[in-house]
Copies of this chain bind each other. A is one copy, B any other.
Amino acid sequence: MSEIKNPVLDAGQVAEQNAKVQANLQADYEALGGVLSRRGVDIDKLTALAATFAVALPSWAAGTGGTRFARFAGKGEPRGVFEKMEDCGVVHQLTRVTPAVSLHFPWDKTDDASALKEVANGYGLGFDAVNSNTFQDQVGQEHTYKYGSLSAQSGAARAQAVQHNIECIELGKKLGSKALTVWVGDGANFPGQNNLRGSLERYLDSMKDIYGALPDDWNVFIEHKLFEPAFYATVIADWGTSFAAAQQLGPKAKCLVDLGHHAPNTNIEMIVARLAQFGKLGGFHFNDSKYGDDDLDSGSINPFQLFLVFNELADAAERAKSDNSGFNPAYMLDQSHNVTDPIESLMSSAVEVQRAFIQAALVDRNALRAFQESNDVLQAAQTLKAAYRTDVSAILATARVRAGGAADPVAAYRASGYREKVTVARPPKAGASSSGIV
């Protein structure tokens, strides 16, 4: 059970909320336990497994996101990294599955890393991968990234971008992070704008300098994206390029899969299988999408796809176990909350990812293997479906309650009055951006 020394919300109030639904939850849990036992599955083992799951929170998702057209600000938005940590603290206190936060620099830059670390630890939070930002120009920045950063024609812009990434590593070291995630928007809006190969060559040169600055126990995650902000050609556009780049750089370089960064119709779970097979699966940015990089809440559009991703992860984990090769990809949410309370979306999304993890654990892998080996296609497919169809809500709720969290995180959060409180405590900064930048 994760201990939280300094909970953001009153623990007694959470317990009170839980008490209200406890009888029903218990009854649902027992009903599900019966169903599972008739299938030969022990519900308590699953609940224990659920308690081991963790997914990191992105600090920037605590604020309201937007689009290039508009951003409709929410109430009581965090105005700095400490307030972001507070909001993430709420998420973790109620869900108990988000024990780490991923910071984004310079947005989350702080002069007092140890104070930040202490505050975070009080909320039960550590620090996941740090993220660099060379897709925007910052006030006072010497060289523009308008025409690229790590791949820019301008050597000065490239050097500046490399230096920024190295500073991110330095900050991350102070906070206890173990990885740097690099996503660049570099690319072209017109055929001819860039020499396609030259751009990647410059990117690799820059990345070699960043790679060289990594501590021994760090990884660098390369995040690809099909398009946006570049609309004709993106330097790191697909997993093939990400994979080739990671190979060029060395063993500490791995590929990060963001669920929304692929071409239409792409089989994402197969990319997961491929990267796992070739030893380059670094981690995930979870979200969902229907059209492009929509950054919608995880599992809100295509929950079966999320399950299939975790089915591959379960397969990879089982293989790694059998050959002791180690398999420990990083999990993080990466969403844009444009019309919901970010805390509510983060809580329900974290639970949704955990749900897929538990559903995948329900797959009868021996039966599946046997059906595959005998080309019993229908039953192989049904084996996955049987696991996916199981409503494991009671398992997840029970795991939360047992860990000190909330049976119903959204209800508990609303009952706490937290949003109303911070709405008063955090008046918007004058001149706050109304842009859609997330």
Contacts and interface: CB of A to CB of B under 8 A. Distances in A.
Contact of A380 (B67, B192, B291, B378): B192
A312 B389 CA distance: 21
Nearest to A365: B195
Interface in A201-260: 201, 226-229, 231-233, 237-241, 243-244
Interface residues of A, number: 123
Contact of A338 (B189, B244, B305, B368): B189
A377 interface: yes
A98 interface: no
Given A231-B296, A344-B378, A436-B436, A195 B369 contact: yes
A114 interface: no
Contacts of A305: 302
A231 B289 contact: yes
A270 B193 CA distance: 13
A108 interface: no
A315 B197 contact: yes
Given A24-B38, A28-B38, A381 B226 contact: no
A277 B243 CA distance: 14
Contact of A273 (B69, B197, B375, B433): B197
Contacts of A438: 68-69
Contacts of A373: 153
Nearest to A435: B435
A393 interface: yes
A38 B34 contact: no
Contact of A302 (B296, B300, B302, B437): B302
B377 A190 contact: yes
A344 B190 CA distance: 14
Contacts of A201: 277
A109 to B, nearest CB: 18
Interface of A: 24, 27-28, 31-32, 34-35, 38, 65-72, 135-137, 144-147, 153-154, 185, 188-198, 200-201, 226-229, 231-233, 237-241, 243-244, 262-267, 269-271, 273-274, 276-278, 289-292, 294-297, 300-305, 308, 311-312, 315-316, 319, 338-341, 344-345, 348, 368-369, 371-375, 377-385, 388-391, 393, 410, 431, 433-438
